[in-house]
Amino acid sequence: MNRKKLAQNSYMKAANGKVISEISTGEKRTYLKLEDIPRFLENLFIVTEDQKFHDHAGVDLSGISRALLINSQNKTIEQGGSTITLQLARNVYLSHDRTYNRKLSELIYAYQIERKKSKPEIMELYLNAIYFSNGAYGIEAASQYYLK
């Protein structure tokens, strides 16, 4: 697993500090350290995306089992059983293809991420990598886009 740095916006500022130009690669993102992210937002994502985040090593076997059962019954890939770590692996290193090969790669990447990073580091990366539509990547870009 290679070390990947998330793209960020660059800003040109006037002498008074006012932003006069913004440069991005198409992914609007302003990276925030976890300590600069309100704790309630971190908890909100844990509650909605991965309630067992602090208890598993990147994979929630009960969630994957449920997804496999539903997918086999419907003969399609509708459910993913993704944890925050699995979503991080997909968002940063992989495609969004709905294939079993991609899901297997996701499991391998998630295992490696959990071995090399702490839960706070994983959460920080996740909250800065997640896509919120309209070109906004990460919670700061989303807040700037949706709350201004």
pTM of the model: 0.75
Contact 90, 82 (CB under 8 A): yes
Is the per-residue pLDDT at 134 higher than 80? Answer: yes
Is the per-residue pLDDT at 38 higher than 70? Answer: yes
Amino acid 132: pLDDT: 93
The C-alpha atoms of residue 43 and residue 47 are separated, in whole angstroms, by 6
Is the per-residue pLDDT at 112 higher than 90? Answer: yes
